[in-house]
Structure 1
Amino acid sequence: MPMKVTKVSLVRSIMLGLIASVAGCPVEAQKTYCNPIDIDYKYNYEQLNDSISYRSGADPVIVNHKGTYFLFVTISGGYWHSYDLLQWHYIVPDKWPMEDMCAPAAMSVKDTLYLFQSTFEQRPIFYSLEPEKGKLKFYNRWLPALPKEVGPWDPALFYDEELNRWFMYWGSSNVYPMYGSELEKHARLRYKGDYKPMLYLHPEEHGWERFGRDHRSNIKPFMEGAWMTKHNGKYYLQYGAPGTEYNVYANGTYVGDSPLGPFTYAPYNPVSYKPGGFVTGAGHGNTFQDKHGNYWNTGTPWIAVNWNFERRIAMFPAGFDADGQMFSNTRFGDLPHALPDKKWNNKDDLFLGWMLLSYRKPATASSVRDTFATANLTDENPRTFWVAKQNKPGEWITVDLGKEQSVKAIQVNYTDYKSDIFDNDSARVYTQFKLYASRDGKQWDLVADLSREKKRDRPNAYVPLTMPVRARYIKYEHGYVASPNLAVSDLRIFGNGFGKPPKTPAQFTAVRDADPRNAFVRWQKVPGAVGYNILWGIGREKLYQTYQIFGDEPSVKEIRALSKGVSYYFAIEAFNENGVSQKSETVFVP
């Protein structure tokens, strides 16, 4: 039944907040976010004829246009804008293409935002001087047609301010290369001269370009998602591979001295890679700078419940080190991070140290449909889920953390189980719920009320608490979701325990396989560890890659993302609800 908040419990909540504030600053003193990003992902009508309904977002481009951020996503009927990378507001433009945009290209140049869609036909480039108002105009009526198989699909627009020249890159294929062409500004951004191939995939050399879960498929991989970034006179031509359907979707880069190359494969690839954890997959996004000068890399995590291409959006801190090496930091990439209010100095500066408190913790619910058990709520897998017998207000979930912890944020991840929605009518497509905390499972305190806010659809609702709350139990009380079924994949709870971080894993080894694209890492399990981060890179101080492993998995892992002819360094760290261990000794793998 719905929880009633009495005056006693309200006083208790205030007292808990006061106690928490003695131990640390209020949570809201720092704006925070958690992947997948919390936006109103749109129901995708791409599979309408097959009666498959799902909310999705993919192929993101975030553009910083005059201090305002604009987010463009595949087949969403519009786009979003934000002033802080946290609160995103949906915009339906007054003029939209002949069909909804797939994998769009966007670019900000001075006072103008340019927009172009993926296409194998003739399509226009749009521009806007008022994108926050949805005002789009034709910049040109269409680009000249290219051969049907060439595209341009998955395009990226690039303006080189120093050279005052314009370019486009594109490609989405496991047969054809990524292409590039200069655009003629005086001809309204038409192709200038011939287009030419930029790069191909080479999975026989680069292990991370192999298809399938953990790169175990022989299917020829796909190259897609072009993006160009210029940094310190170098041109970083980025691409997504090997395919969006698995955990290893990643971004890589080639580097050149001019906009159309020649380009050289970066030995430290991939630059953005997240095969483990709740959010898996980091490919096909873009790189942008925020208003403080910090770099970010966006990507497309994989959900795949109702449809294999059901996805979400993630963004990770990124940058270039002193040697010009491009990187994206996905370590703890699906745990809460701070949004910066200045330039950060260290790649881990934004990680708050709020740990995952809910992994494999017991959960109970008001009802359970069939075999969609409550154990699915805490398994950190978006493809398993709990379903209530009815979608009605007052249905509830309770997670027992096992002991009192300092709870700082909660994320509710809905699943569109047997959804029948094919529109995005905001009058009926929204989510509402309440969150409670308790120290004994009897006396409950309301810690968040999303039934009172303006109706918003939040399929991956991230809720930082105003103050940390000392609690053993967390309860979700259902209000409303438009789907015919109430289904939740994971109720994720973040904060800190009151114990010690785990010890550093001992007996860590890393050995290259006979196939040099692979390496086996082994370690001794640490008592009480929730999980481990396997770290690696091409230098002792360049361990930019992370593969997260949970503690109930085997203590051996085959890393299949290496490139032939490149030497690596490996290390490992353990984490639990209290924090992170010291990193192990670094192992050189020739």
Structure 2
Amino acid sequence: MKPCVCLILLLVSGLAVAQTTYCNPIDLDYRYNFEQTNEGISYRSGADPVIIRHQNAYYLFATIQGGYWHSTDMLNWRFVTPSMWPMEDMCAPAVESVNDTLYLFQSTFEQRPILMSTAPETGKLQFYNRWLPRLPKDIGPWDPALFHDKDTNKWYMYWGSSNVYPLFGAELDKSRNLTYADRNAATVAKPMFWLDPWVHGWERFGPNHADLVKPFTEGAWMTKHNGTYYLQYGAPGTEYNVYANGTYTSKSPLGPWDYAPYNPIAYHPGGYATGCGHGNTFQDEWGNYWNTGTTWIGLVWGMERRMVMHPAGFDKTDQLYADTRFGDWPHKMPTSKWDTQNGPKGDDTFMGWMLLNYKKPVTSSSTLDTLRAAFAVDENPRTFWATRNKPGETLTVDLGSEQTVRAAQVNYVDHKNTIFKTDASVYTQFKLLGSVDGKTWRPLADLTDTTRWGKRDRACAYVALPKAEKARYVRYEHVYTAGPYLAINGFRIFGNGTGKAPVTPAGLLAKRQKDDRNADLSWQPVPGALGYNVRWGIAPDKLYQTYQFWADDPVGRPGKPFELRALNRGVPYFFAVEAFNETGVSGLSDVVAAK
């Protein structure tokens, strides 16, 4: 991918602040969900994203948000409250842009309408049709995707969310207001394909694909590229670190389908924002591809989630991939077309700003019960620090030495929250302070400055500093959030430490197990390495997959085998590993084969 340097104006409340980078999870004013069965506790959440470019702008739709977001740069998203909405809030909506019209359809097992808008930035929606004919019981369409084939001017819908049924597809009739082309609703749903976890290791359920529960296929999406149809899907389930996107290909929009041996196309099982399944693939204004997905929080409630987006593309053999290497660390936003023909090159989008405060000493001004400050810096979204919500509360991290600080991300938790309606009282404000000695403090960022930052809710607040700052200590100083408690499950500081990047790992060995969906990898430990990226693919020059973990993580400590359980039976693979620390990333090890 081609390096880019950009100056994008982040427009907030009509005022501008320079912002050129982003960090997953996406920095949005996620809306509140409410679970009656969860003792009245509410929580911010967003899942199943669809981002569409329409009329020189971007629109982001997601599950149970009461509206959608509008952006001109993919950095700043403005929430749009629509003029009308369906009978119930939308789950996993389908969106398609054709000419001057944006089409919108919700997940349903009933009869529901397709909506349309020629001015979605205003929120004005209207009925395109009143409903699609009802399908047989339990068939859906749930998790739908609308697809207009520009080459043939034909319309299709794909859907499915089940561990019993396959993904389905059907042609729609534009002359009948996008109702089914086959007027017999009982036969219109044509099976596309089923999951096959006995052959596809990454489709197995559970943490690191270690559960025997029958997996779920969901989140259909269609992309057409160079005359080939890529029918994408999410699996094996939203509530695990291995939630990913895969694809089948065909020369026909309704199949027959061929499984892509390089699956999954988007996979991010390690790091803070684990999982990236159930999203969509879209192109930005430069023609670059992106893949969106869902990352699981599951802390306040099982369906508490956030959303991510990763650079994507088609290589010279038309293999579809998403670049998830350091996928939840700061990345550049492009201002030109990438070269994706040779696959992702990592540093072309990755800023090279490393995580500086993993498990570093941290103190807080106060603590609620046993929810101690250390939980805010352990890179685990399901542990958190909490205290009473009042101005002046602080988290202070000691980086151990003076380092170069470039950005920070603050991820909030809705601990025992009871907010249901998002209104003007729901917003986020804090200050970031830096110090070289822990005594004299200077401002790094001030989100109370509404002339620069506006006033909005930011559950995953990402702040890139205007310039590099030297600091040993970094402090979060609380000003305001809604709710009775202040709770943070990720206070993440990015930049570069002093010293050298680690040396390249040596002695990599890779061996497929008897069950060749699994492979064991080992290598010599690298002194000073904080973590490793295992990278693999179906050819030595196609190492598109990444599993990131910390050196102290029991999942993959060097010196004992790291078990990778995401492989496809009968497919030869190639592996390499790289080490990283707070300064940078090592070179890539020798590539080894495991057939």
Structure 2 length-normalised TM: 0.93
Structure 2 residue 256 is matched with structure 1 residue 262? yes
Query: Following the alignment from structure 1 to structure 2, what is the Cα–Cα distance between the partners of residues 39 and 29?
Result: 17
Query: Following the alignment from structure 1 to structure 2, what is the Cα–Cα distance between the partners of residues 445 and 133?
Result: 41
Say whether the 8 Å CA contact 1:26–1:466 is kept in structure 2. no
Aligned to 1:80: 69
Cα shift readout 1:272-294 (whole Å, capped 9, x = no counterpart): 00000001000000000000000
Q: How far did 1:83 drift?
A: 0.3
- In structure 2, relative to structure 1, the CA distance for the partners of 1:442 and 1:335 (3 Å cut) is same
Query: Following the alignment from structure 1 to structure 2, what is the Cα–Cα distance between the partners of residues 581 and 455?
Result: 40
Say whether the 8 Å CA contact 2:403–2:472 is kept in structure 1. yes
Cα shift readout 1:120-142 (whole Å, capped 9, x = no counterpart): 00000000000000010100000
Aligned to 2:362: 363
Aligned to 2:158: 169
Q: How far did 1:551 drift?
A: 1.2
| Aligned partner letter, 1:322 | K
Q: How far did 1:148 drift?
A: 1.9
Structure 2 residue 588 is matched with structure 1 residue 583? yes
Aligned to 2:386: 387
Say whether the 8 Å CA contact 1:433–1:479 is kept in structure 2. yes
Aligned to 1:16: none
Query: Following the alignment from structure 1 to structure 2, what is the Cα–Cα distance between the partners of residues 235 and 50?
Result: 45
Q: How far did 1:103 drift?
A: 0.4
Aligned to 2:372: 373
What is the SS of the residue equivalent to 1:499?
Answer: coil
Within a 5 Å distance, the mapping from 1:16-415 to structure 2 comes to 31-47=20-36, 50-193=39-182, 194-345=188-339, 347=344, 348=346, 349-388=348-387, 390-415=388-413
Say whether the 8 Å CA contact 1:45–1:423 is kept in structure 2. no
- In structure 2, relative to structure 1, the CA distance for the partners of 1:467 and 1:168 (3 Å cut) is same
| Aligned partner letter, 2:24 | N
Say whether the 8 Å CA contact 2:313–2:321 is kept in structure 1. yes
Query: Following the alignment from structure 2 to structure 1, what is the Cα–Cα distance between the partners of residues 225 and 534?
Result: 29
Cα shift readout 1:134-176 (whole Å, capped 9, x = no counterpart): 0101000000010121000000000000111000000000001
Say whether the 8 Å CA contact 2:204–2:236 is kept in structure 1. yes
What is the SS of the residue equivalent to 1:54?
Answer: strand
| Aligned partner letter, 1:575 | F
Q: How far did 1:47 drift?
A: 4.1
- In structure 2, relative to structure 1, the CA distance for the partners of 1:474 and 1:509 (3 Å cut) is same
Unaligned runs of 5+ in 2: 9-16, 183-187
Aligned to 2:489: 489
Q: How far did 1:522 drift?
A: 0.9
Cα shift readout 1:433-459 (whole Å, capped 9, x = no counterpart): 100011111111111111122321001
Query: Following the alignment from structure 2 to structure 1, what is the Cα–Cα distance between the partners of residues 523 and 56?
Result: 46
Query: Following the alignment from structure 1 to structure 2, what is the Cα–Cα distance between the partners of residues 173 and 46?
Result: 22
Match of 1:416 among 410, 414, 417: 414
Structure 1 length-normalised TM: 0.94
Q: How far did 1:30 drift?
A: 6.4
| Aligned partner letter, 1:361 | K
Aligned to 2:433: 436
- The number of residues matched between the two structures is 565
Say whether the 8 Å CA contact 2:38–2:301 is kept in structure 1. no
Query: Following the alignment from structure 2 to structure 1, what is the Cα–Cα distance between the partners of residues 402 and 428?
Result: 29
What is the SS of the residue equivalent to 2:161?
Answer: coil
Cα shift readout 1:46-104 (whole Å, capped 9, x = no counterpart): 44674131110000000000210000010001000100000000011001000000000
Query: Following the alignment from structure 1 to structure 2, what is the Cα–Cα distance between the partners of residues 573 and 180?
Result: 41
Q: How far did 1:381 drift?
A: 0.7
Cα shift readout 1:380-429 (whole Å, capped 9, x = no counterpart): 111101112x211000010010011110000011111111111112x211
Query: Following the alignment from structure 1 to structure 2, what is the Cα–Cα distance between the partners of residues 184 and 107?
Result: 15
Query: Following the alignment from structure 1 to structure 2, what is the Cα–Cα distance between the partners of residues 342 and 484?
Result: 45
What is the SS of the residue equivalent to 1:132?
Answer: helix
Say whether the 8 Å CA contact 2:297–2:306 is kept in structure 1. yes
Q: How far did 1:345 drift?
A: 2.0
Aligned to 1:530: 530
Aligned to 1:12: none
Say whether the 8 Å CA contact 1:436–1:445 is kept in structure 2. yes
Aligned to 1:511: 511
Cα shift readout 1:14-54 (whole Å, capped 9, x = no counterpart): xxxxxxxxxx9999876000000100011112446741311
Query: Following the alignment from structure 1 to structure 2, what is the Cα–Cα distance between the partners of residues 258 and 226?
Result: 16
Query: Following the alignment from structure 1 to structure 2, what is the Cα–Cα distance between the partners of residues 134 and 263?
Result: 38
Query: Following the alignment from structure 1 to structure 2, what is the Cα–Cα distance between the partners of residues 543 and 357?
Result: 26
Q: How far did 1:195 drift?
A: 2.4
Moved more, 369-378 or 228-237: 369-378
Query: Following the alignment from structure 2 to structure 1, what is the Cα–Cα distance between the partners of residues 194 and 55?
Result: 35
Query: Following the alignment from structure 2 to structure 1, what is the Cα–Cα distance between the partners of residues 6 and 30?
Result: 32
What is the SS of the residue equivalent to 1:260?
Answer: coil
Q: How far did 1:578 drift?
A: 0.9
- Percent of aligned pairs sharing the same letter: 63
Say whether the 8 Å CA contact 1:30–1:338 is kept in structure 2. no
| Aligned partner letter, 2:194 | Y
What is the SS of the residue equivalent to 1:248?
Answer: coil
- In structure 2, relative to structure 1, the CA distance for the partners of 1:191 and 1:224 (3 Å cut) is same
Say whether the 8 Å CA contact 1:503–1:526 is kept in structure 2. yes
Aligned to 2:11: none
Aligned to 1:571: 576
Moved more, 490-499 or 157-166: 490-499
| Aligned partner letter, 2:246 | G
Query: Following the alignment from structure 1 to structure 2, what is the Cα–Cα distance between the partners of residues 58 and 412?
Result: 19
Query: Following the alignment from structure 1 to structure 2, what is the Cα–Cα distance between the partners of residues 61 and 377?
Result: 30
Structure 2 residue 469 is matched with structure 1 residue 469? yes
Say whether the 8 Å CA contact 2:19–2:464 is kept in structure 1. no
Say whether the 8 Å CA contact 2:49–2:278 is kept in structure 1. yes
Match of 2:562 among 551, 557, 570: 557
